[in-house]
Amino acid sequence: MAENIVINLQNVDVFQQKHLVLSNVNLDIAKGEFVFLIGQTGSGKSSLLKIIYGDLHIGNGNGKVAGFDLKKLEDKDVPYLRRKLGIVFQDFQLLSDRTVEQNLEFVLKATGWTDKNLINERIKDVLEKVGLRSKIKKMPHELSGGEQQRVVISRALLNNPEIILADEPTGNLDPDTSEEIVLLLKQISQSGTAVLMATHDYHIIRTFPSRIIKCESGVVHEDAQIA
């Protein structure tokens, strides 16, 4: 596997329970690449993401993600794999009773950070990256939807991930805010973190032309086009 490939799936069959969702998946994503993942609801996009972040085990085939062999991945290894991944969902999943700073601190402590100064520095650093340094003491409900999603992206960046998986990150946002969020994710990819973004939003795909992966009829097309 080439050194700069951070996601590599070879002839992978993806099952949900015993139901074959995607067959014979071959996929390579390189460090710093920005890739869209498209497909209709039920086409297997979420299942493919779950394979990558260790929520589903691969059936046949082989896979490596951020240096982890998915074939040998045991439940106890999953938290370590996920430290190499930043995951951004459509619903922000922020802790509503804690400030932005406390939300980020919670994740760092949960992943083994103990030095208070390093924690503070890291929180300021990721908030700077997403343009929210001034909102550090705010509660989630005091932020707009776009700002909340920026906090979620900053949370995903905390442990310097090799890959960000963004599952419909603009699904609850208006068009202008959606574009800002995708622009931010593109900038993050340019600094070396691979970004795989699942989306239904064809306007976004046309505005930010990038490689497209498409799930369709149980198959994954590595370099798809949109009409």
Residue 223: per-residue pLDDT:
83
Q: What is the set of domains in the chain, with CATH numbers?
A: 1-84+163-227 (3.40.50.300), 91-160 (no CATH)
Q: CB within 8 A of 75, min separation 6: which ones?
A: none
Q: How far apart are CA 127 and CA 109, in angstroms?
A: 17
| pLDDT recorded at residue 78 | 92
Percent pLDDT > 90 in the chain is 81
**Greatest CA span in the chain, whole angstroms?**
51
For the entire predicted model, the pTM comes to 0.93
pLDDT of residue 4: 92
Predicted confidence at residue 86, as pLDDT, reads 93
What pLDDT score was predicted for residue 172? 86
pLDDT at 153: 95
Query: Which residues of the chain fall short of a pLDDT of 50?
Result: none
104 Cβ contact list (under 8 Å, min separation 6): 122, 123, 126, 127, 151, 154, 155, 158
